[in-house]
Chains A and B, each alone.
Chain A
């Protein structure tokens, strides 16, 4: 047990940059890196991989990431916790073991599973209402393709207690990737937490995890404002956030020396509230967090002290996010140059609608937006009058077909190419001839905790 722990942020999503993590390991004096590869949407992407190849279904970037970072971590005794396992944590762990063994590296790897609860959702008797709109899961049951409960920190603590150097999980609460090492390293109570002090420790740990789970968003990246973001130094070499956490729960948010980005009151609180709903009841499997008394004391020079997180016992339910097949889309993007570019995109849209009607192509919706004009803010981005738009250098249009029919989606792009010779003039940059993708609906629901059984398994080391 230690008096304090330094833990660093790994990736913030599947596809993130891991070079800043190397800086945290080499210069940030961390004992742990925790890496979040799974946004809400990511399981939908991994499901498509698994459909093609059952040995996949995990976040494959963890392999090159560890090929780069593991030697740095191994040399310093840094441990690594990640949820890159996605829908196939065992497959992920085996792939990591094989890749690292090729270099003569043989870390002790633990696998955390048990989050896959699809079979429970598919049970025709079960009632798992949509958390937000109250609909009965029976409406989509036949179309479900994955369903995963958010596990808490307990199995991660167990894996670390068994001596794991790398912990690979499926779906766990993002912040639990950080809370696990803190509980393990600082000796906090978790499943046996009882007193307000115990729960406040966990609330501090959850807040730290929340601040670090989105990599650079906790240290000056994606800082949304006008006129100040330009003063955030050197985003090309951003340092991901690091937390130094004391046994009493006090946390300092900082980053490795000689890195870009900025850790201050403003950048930290933008992340504190990110993807939070009621800030007085932020639910997790381990603790319910109230942010109402949190103090963020800006000590200057990339150090912010976090205190005052209040914790209370978790509920007896876990959040589950399931995905269901929800039709197809196909999208095209196309530009027209001055003159009369606006009228030409309108003409092109009319022609496409006529073709859809005459060929009786089944679809639910033809969504149209104009990149460069309104694709970020929809109707809140007021368009200039047509006469002015017709004088613009160019106008781009993006049309997206939503349809239950894969054949209709596959054929959508074919409605356009002939117009290059037989439609309005001065076109450029048509894209989207073969652009079908399957849409997945997201089904968030709750499940009784006793229905979910987390499992920790140490992989054999093949030395």
Chain B
């Protein structure tokens, strides 16, 4: 019987956030195909909305981009009306990509191992 793990997205993915008026958008990226299959299953609009809800309970839109192993997300109502009226230190949501990477997902130990040992698709000078 396989062990079920709960891990934060940061262990499987990278992310960047940006702003348009009152919406914050996120690109979420798996390092490889094995990681992407997990994200595709786990990162749903409902789960992302629930993750942000204690702070920013807005609607979430999701699009899948298997061609670049990515998920595009948009969180509505995230910036107190927009960057030029937002009172937070992070008025443009630049650090919110990391808030997405805190989200916990469930997966089997085998899936996690597979995603971690599969090579990254990108060329990195350290690899």
Contacts and interface: CB of A to CB of B under 8 A. Distances in A.
Contact of A275 (B20, B88, B89): B20
B84 A440 contact: yes
Interface in B84-116: 84-85, 87-90, 92, 94-99, 101-102
Contact of B10 (A226, A267, A321, A442): A226
B121 interface: yes
Contacts of A279: 63, 65, 72
B65 to A, nearest CB: 6
Contact of B87 (A131, A270, A402): A402
A375 interface: yes
Given A265-B122, A442-B81, 20 more contacts: A41-B84, A132-B76, A217-B16, A226-B101, A264-B123, A266-B29, A270-B29, A274-B16, A274-B18, A274-B25, A277-B25, A294-B67, A301-B123, A326-B81, A326-B84, A329-B87, A365-B87, A367-B87, A379-B55, A380-B52
A212 B21 CA distance: 22
Contacts of A63: none
Given A277-B23, A439-B85, A296 B124 contact: no
17 contacts: A41-B84, A225-B13, A266-B29, A270-B14, A274-B18, A274-B27, A277-B25, A278-B63, A292-B67, A294-B67, A298-B122, A326-B85, A377-B98, A377-B99, A378-B55, A378-B88, A398-B89
B82 to A, nearest CB: 4
Chain A interface category by residue count: 35 or more
B89 A369 contact: yes
A266 to B, nearest CB: 4
A280 interface: yes
B58 to A, nearest CB: 11
A262 B124 contact: yes
Interface in B20-70: 20-23, 25, 27, 29, 31, 51-52, 54-56, 61, 63, 65, 67-70
A380 B78 CA distance: 13
B95 A262 contact: no
Contacts of B120: 266
Nearest to A402: B87
Interface in A178-212: none
A192 B30 CA distance: 39
B18 A225 contact: no
Contacts of A334: none
A271 B29 CA distance: 11
Nearest to B27: A273
A135 to B, nearest CB: 11
A275 B92 CA distance: 11
A41 B85 contact: no
B4 to A, nearest CB: 22
B124 to A, nearest CB: 6
Interface string A273-293: 111111110000000000111
A300 interface: yes
A394 B126 CA distance: 38
Contacts of A331: 87
A4 to B, nearest CB: 23
Given A132-B23, A376-B90, A402-B87, A272 B14 contact: no
Contacts of B19: 40, 275
A80 B30 CA distance: 37
A197 B88 CA distance: 45
A122 B7 CA distance: 52
Contacts of B97: 224
Given A264-B124, A274-B16, A441-B84, A280 B29 contact: no
